[in-house]
Structure 1
Amino acid sequence: MQANELVTLARSGVKLTRLGMGGAAIGGLYEACSAAAARAAVEGAWALGLRYFDTAPFYGYTLSEHRLGEALRERPRGEFTISTKAGRLMLPDASVQPGADGWAAPLPFRPHYDYTFDAILRSHQDSLQRLGMAYVDILFVHDIGAVTHGAAHAHYWAQLTTGGGFRALEQLRSSGQVKAIGLGVNEAEVVVQAMQECDLDCTLLAGRYTLLEQAALSPLLAACSRQGNAIVIGGPFNSGVLAGNGKFNYADAPDAVRQRVARLGAVCEQFGVPLQAAALQFPMAHPAVVACIPGGRDVAQMRQNAAWFEQPIPAGLWPALKQAGLVDERAPVPAP
């Protein structure tokens, strides 16, 4: 599979390249990213033929949207696809400090969860202004779910349902202001719930269907295949642990996760395959999955991601991983 191969989402007509660029890194996730490096990363992705870019107001407390817009807005708008997210309003706050929520140098805005009708519409408009663009192609509801919100989940879920958040998404889609809607989440269960409430075009699922974990195979991915809810894989390295940075779910990886990663790496090494290449290619074999969006904080990382994505992998790797109990027997694997 080629990184710059185009795929069209059946429900919306939105076109994505199989490999896209996630925008958290240029927002300064874990470590600072200069404006020059961020622009070079976006331009490097463009030079590789990548035409799908994802961002969010939360990334760098609006920094990622500003940087992505600055790097892309002079390109022909019809030649690329942008997704961003709603669910947090970013309000001015001079007390924001470096390191807040893992952002190395966030801008002086504080996130406030709000999934109501008016808040979704406002978030969308705010994103357009930060990007400096007339429209985004895909709007995802960001970070909803029981794991994210704990005891407050019922409150925020009600904002999306009876509070009109889903209705706002549907209105934006029906009016043509966005082409596709969905969720951008780290939880599989809430996507299944949302599919009963709203007609989703696609979902950005971060970290829940990867080489490290495949619990989302059922019921989520099975339901998505039936209903046409296309899956974009975010966090293919599980926040970085599969790429060697020791992070899992945006925190230090526990010992059990590190040990499993070491076992995965050992099997990959037997076949002469970088663990990162296997991690990027594995989820693409599922029929519900249309694209994968690892991040990149500079041009070298974007080039490396593309090389891993396209690297030939011996067919024997996948059955070896299954035989070792490291990959679910039910999981589709890439064709040789």
Structure 2
Amino acid sequence: MKAHETRVLPRSRLSVTALGLGCSQLGGLYRPMSGADASAVVEAAWSAGIRYFDTAPFYGYTLSERRVGEILGDPDRNTFTLSTKVGRLMRPDPSVSPGDDGWATPLPFRPEFDYSYEGIMRSYEDSLQRLGMHRIDMLYVHDIGRATHADRHGQFWSQLTEGGGFKALQHLRTSGAVRGIGLGVNEWEVAADALNEAELDAILLAGRYTLLEQTALEPLLDVCAQAGTAVVVGGVFNSGVLAGNGKFNYGDAPADVVEKVGALSAVCQRFDVPLPAAALQFVFAHPAVVSCAVGVRSVPQLQQNIAWLETAIPAAFWQTLHREGLVSSKAPVPEEVQ
């Protein structure tokens, strides 16, 4: 598989490349990123043929959107797919300080959750202005769900359903303002619920369908494949534990996760396969998956991800993972789609 390989989303007919650039790092996630480094990463992605870019107002408290728009705003660059997100309105706030929500250099705007019709429309218009562009291709509802909102989930879900949030998204799609709508979330349950409320073009699912865990397989990915809803996989390394940093779901990996990663690593060593290469390639075996969005801090990290995606992995490796019960017996593996 090549990073620049193009996939077409069944419903919207939008095109995305197999590897997409997730732009949270451009917003300074955990560590600062200079404007020059941000530009270098995007330019390197472009040179490698990557044409799918995903950002959000929340990333760096609007910093990522501004940088993406500045770098990709060249009128000669019109052959890319851009997604951003709705669900948070960014309000001016001079009390914002470095480290808020994990952003090293956030701009002075504070997020305020709003999934209502008016909130979705305002968020869309604000993003257009920050990006300095006339179009947004895919609009995802960002971080709806109990993992983010806990006991306030019902309130925000009601905004999205009874309060017209989904209607706003459908209006934007029907009018041609955007070509696709969906969810960008870290939990599969709310994505499954959303499929009962609206016809979604795509779901960006972070961390719930990976080499480490396939909890979303039957309740979500299989349903998406049947419905024609594309899946973009984010968090393919589960916050980094599959890339060697010991983190899982934004914290230190628990003992059972460390144990399973050790078992996966042992099989990788047996076949001389880099564990991150296996993690990147595994998700593409599922017919619903069209792209994997990765976040990187530097050009070398981007190049490493491309190399992992394009590493040759023998069919026997995947067969061994199935035989040893390290991936679900129902999960398709790359050999089955070659």
Using the aligned pairs only, state the percent identity.
Answer: 60
Where structure 2 has 5 or more consecutive residues not aligned to the other structure, the ranges are none
Match of 2:215 in 1: 215
**CA apart distance, 1:75:** 4.9
1:247, distance to aligned residue in structure 2 (A): 2.1
CA contact (8 A) 2:100 2:106 kept: yes
Q: Distance in 2 between the 1:262 and 1:70 partners?
A: 42
What's the offset of the Cα at 1:322?
A: 2.1
Aligned equivalent of 2:149: 149
2:312 aligned with 1:312 = yes
What are the equivalent positions in structure 2 for 1:120-139 lying under 5 Å apart?
120-139=120-139
Q: 2:115 aligns to what?
A: 115
Q: Which residue of 2 is the match for residue 176 of structure 1?
A: 176
1:200 aligned partner, one-letter code: L
How far apart, in 2, do the equivalents of 1:319 and 1:98 lie?
47
Q: State the SS of the aligned residue for 2:83.
A: strand
Q: Distance in 1 between matches of 2:7 and 2:137?
A: 14
Q: Does 1:72 align with 2:66?
A: no
Equivalent residue of 2:200, what SS? coil
Whole-angstrom distance in 2 between the partners of 1:210 and 1:315: 18
> What is the SS of the residue equivalent to 2:269?
helix
> What are the equivalent positions in structure 2 for 1:259-298 lying under 5 Å apart?
259-298=259-298
CA distance in 1, matches of 2:114, 2:238: 26
1:228 correspondence with 2:228 = yes
Amino acid at match of 1:12: S
Query: Alpha-carbon deviations, 1:38-85, whole Å to 9, x = none?
Result: 110000000100000000111111111111111110153431010000
Q: What is the root-mean-square deviation in Å for CA atoms of aligned residues?
A: 1.2
Q: What is the CA–CA distance in structure 2 between the aligned matches of 1:106 and 1:256, rounded to whole Å?
A: 35
1:1-48 CA-to-partner distances (Å, cap 9, x unmatched) read 111011111211111011110011121112221111111000000010
Residue in 1 that maps onto 2:193: 193
2:249 & 2:203 partners in 1: Cα distance? 18
How many equivalent residue pairs? Answer: 336
CA contact (8 A) 2:10 2:229 kept: no
Q: Secondary structure at the match of 2:94?
A: coil
Q: What is the identity, as a one-letter code, of the residue corresponding to 2:313?
A: I
User: 1:246: Cα distance to partner?
Assistant: 2.3
Contact residue 237 and residue 294 of structure 1 kept, 8 A = no
3-state SS of 1:69 partner: helix
Q: Which residue of 1 aligns with 2:17?
A: 17
The 1-side partners of 2:75 and 2:26 are apart by: 19
1:95-137: CA deviation from partner (whole Å, max 9, x where unpaired): 1121111112211111111100001011111111111101110
Take 1:250 and 1:85, find their aligned partners in 2: how far apart are those partners?
21
Structure 1 counterpart of 2:42: 42
Q: Which stretches in structure 1 are left out of the alignment for 5+ residues?
A: none
Give the CA deviation at 1:215: 0.7
- TM-score with structure 1 length normalisation? 0.97
Structure 2 equivalent of residue 3 of structure 1: 3
Q: Partner of 2:169: helix, strand, or coil?
A: helix
Displacement of 1:213? 0.5
Question: After the TM superposition, which segments of 4 or more aligned residues of structure 1 sit over 6 Å from their partners?
Answer: none
Distance 2:130 2:266 in 1: 44
Take 1:108 and 1:326, find their aligned partners in 2: how far apart are those partners?
A: 45
Counterpart of 1:257 in structure 2 is: 257
Q: Structure 2 CA distance, aligned partners of 1:35 and 1:139?
A: 25
SS of 1:79's partner is coil
Deviations 1:270-305 (A, max 9, x none): 111111101110001000101101111211111111
